[in-house]
Chains A and B, each alone.
Chain A
Amino acid sequence: MTDGPSGPTPSDSHAGESERRWCEERTTFQRVYDVITGTTDYATASEVAEEADCSDDGARDALAQLVEMGIAERRDGRPATYRRNDSYFRWKRVEALATNNSVADLRAKIDELVAEDERLGERFDAPGPDAVSPATFETSDHDEIHDRWDALARWRTLRRDLELFQRAAHRAERRGGDADDVASA
């Protein structure tokens, strides 16, 4: 077998190729969208502009539109800062779940998540992911840390999903039983 690149980053001949392509193929608005949907901490328009490879004014215009659409939120200040609007993305997932699944399917999935939640509670001997002792990571065995960290992240993801599925089930019930108008995702 050949060696190929063994280090974590490509050598100069390819570095930046994918980003260049992204800049050529996506408009300023689309690039700002791509950046802000992955931004969970508030950032200034010029920080966004740097990541989106556009002018500060270009970023500000796009961000103003995204705020109006509910996709981004803005915090006033000097300068103003922006991040993605998490409640918008949660609402979107709840809508999709309530539209594409029957109440029975949602209930069955909730039962499945609750059972997994119990199994993780037993594994970590804790009532929830926030109550897991930091000592659980005090080992130098990398695979073991990886494994525990992974399980804990899964637990948090599961708790979040449980909440979303419960909201979706309520919504689907209020709409009057099983949704049969399955929309494409």
Chain B
Amino acid sequence: MQALVIAAHGSHLNPDASDPTYAHADTVRETGAFDEVREAFWKEEPHFREVIRTLESEEVFVVPLFISEGYFTEQVIPRELRLEDWNPDKWDSDGTAASTVTLEATDVDKTVHYCGPVGTHDAMTDVIVQRAETVTEDSDVGAGFGLAVVGHGTERNENSAKAIEYHTERIREQGRFDEVEALFMDEEPEVDDVTDFFEAEDVVVVPLFIADGYHTQEDIPEDMGLTDDYRLGWDVPAEVDGHRIWYAGAVGTEGLMADVLLERAVDAGADVGDALEAVRNEVSLRDGGTSDSTSGPTTEAGD
């Protein structure tokens, strides 16, 4: 038997923070690729601390639903899962290369394949592009368009910027969009000045965040000048300084994220049959041309 555990942040204050986690877990559940699929949280229940013991499977694949490597993936999650022999060196990563390490959980008799976060997986590049397709309702979007990938910045975690830059570079290499830029909330180049960085009239802005919340639904739209007051909402696209800004909201709400979760588990040795294909098909059918950037707030900052 094999189980998938999706390890996410969750929130004590906002129920919507866990919505993407549940949605992607359900997509994976429906493929039947795992005997058990379980959501686990830092701020909700089941807590990381208790999740492994709720499983019957001997092989457990843990995939962090986080954007970057850092405090949560390297300290909090392995510690709370009681992965005793864990050491970040085992991932041998430069900040975006973590893949998988196999460990024993000491309070339960199980083998845990601890995977790198979804945010740094190569498949995440496709999710960002898919997000651009979703928000423009154009499956060929690219020519004549600029794409901005937006991250928090280096304030707390230097790897956070690395993840943004990594995908930006990969999309740039595809040559699909006229221009591709990495922008940040808290450091240069700043998302406030988004229009300064693009010549293209149309610019898709995709924030690399797991759930929609304060940053993606309040801060960024106001900073970019999409709206004076986030409570009034904004247009997609919105006119800013002679550009049309297609603001996509958090990439983590994109249905294709379930595919990245599966990819992580497959890289770690999970046998998922044809689930990858099933998810890609199902997600493209379900999400085909619909925009979903209206859900509410997310995790508290600072923890």
A-B interaction? no
Task: List chain A positions with a Cβ less than 8 A from chain B.
Answer: none
Task: List chain B positions with a Cβ less than 8 A from chain A.
Answer: none
